[in-house]
Amino acid sequence: MNADVFTLFPQWFDWFMTQRHVENALALGHTVEAVDLRATTPLKWGQVDDTPFGGGAGMVLRVDVMEAALRARYGVDPVELREQRRVIALTPTGRLLDDALATELAREESLTLLCGRYEGFDERILEHFVTEQVSIGRYVLAGGELAAMVVLDTVLRKLPGVLGDDASAIEESFSEALGGAPEYPHYTRPAQWRGWAVPEVLLSGHHARVDEWRREQSRRRAEGPLP
Ligand SMILES: C[S@@+](CC[C@H](N)C(=O)[O-])C[C@H]1O[C@@H](n2cnc3c(N)ncnc32)[C@H](O)[C@@H]1O
């Protein structure tokens, strides 16, 4: 996968790139690049945003700035770029990120993520340059960078070979393998702690019974909220 993140703060991604699973993905030939929106702005003094028409607080990311950045990166009109790759604007009101969407995105060969700041994007960016909007939750962050990292984190860990054991990403909360249900509980040593015992079945060595117990726990968790 080749993932590009357009941002005003590319340095935010320096830390992200050094995380183990991201490093693993890069070592496998996948790419994640933070593209600086200021580097290609056609405006003076690195300007990228402007005051909103109609008045009001905050600054709005300009459509000409976004067009210049996308054209410089891909060499095509951003309106046509949408036919070549998924171009996702991170917005608080977009499609909510869930495991199904992460799985869908993990199948893509290339992804473009656009991070807003301040008041957000000029609406024409959303109308003409993007294939979709994605939200990581119904709350408002200061910028799209953390949202982009959340999207990439969950997408990259689904790519084969990125986790130490690929099975870790198959049977987990909300996965198809568990029918969308929460994952079952895990325990490790010590088997007893302050009188809190590990369920006997997990110590039995009986794989079929363990599996049955886990499915049942998962189903129960799906029925009611976790404490
Ligand atoms: C302060 S927010 C803008 C909020 C916008 N004025 C509104 O009320 O919807 C700045 C940027 O942060 C990003 N952002 C904020 N919350 C987000 C969320 N929950 N999911 C994804 N991106 C988010 C978006 O890129 C957004 O353009």
pLDDT digits (tens, 9 = 90+) for 17-46: 999 999 999 999 999 999 999 999 999 999
**Mean predicted confidence (pLDDT) in 8-17:** 98
State residue 226's pLDDT score.
Answer: 61
Which parts of 8-52 are beta strand (E)? 31-36, 49-50
Separation CA 183–CA 220 (nearest Å): 10
- Tell me, what's the pLDDT at 81? 98
Is residue 42 exposed (0-12), middle (13-18) or buried (19+ Cβ within 10 Å)?
exposed
More confident residue, 220 or 225: 220
46 lines ligand 1 (CB under 6 A): no
Statement: residue 167 has pLDDT above 90: no
Q: Is 142 in the pocket of ligand 1 (CB under 6 A)?
A: yes
Cβ(7) – ligand 1 distance below 6 Å: no
CA of 126 to the centre of ligand 1 (A): 13
Check residue 227 and give its pLDDT: 60
Is the Cβ atom of 59 under 6 angstroms away from ligand 1? no
Residue range 77-97, pLDDT digits in tens = 999 999 999 999 999 999 999
pLDDT tens, position by position, 50-67:
999 999 999 999 999 999
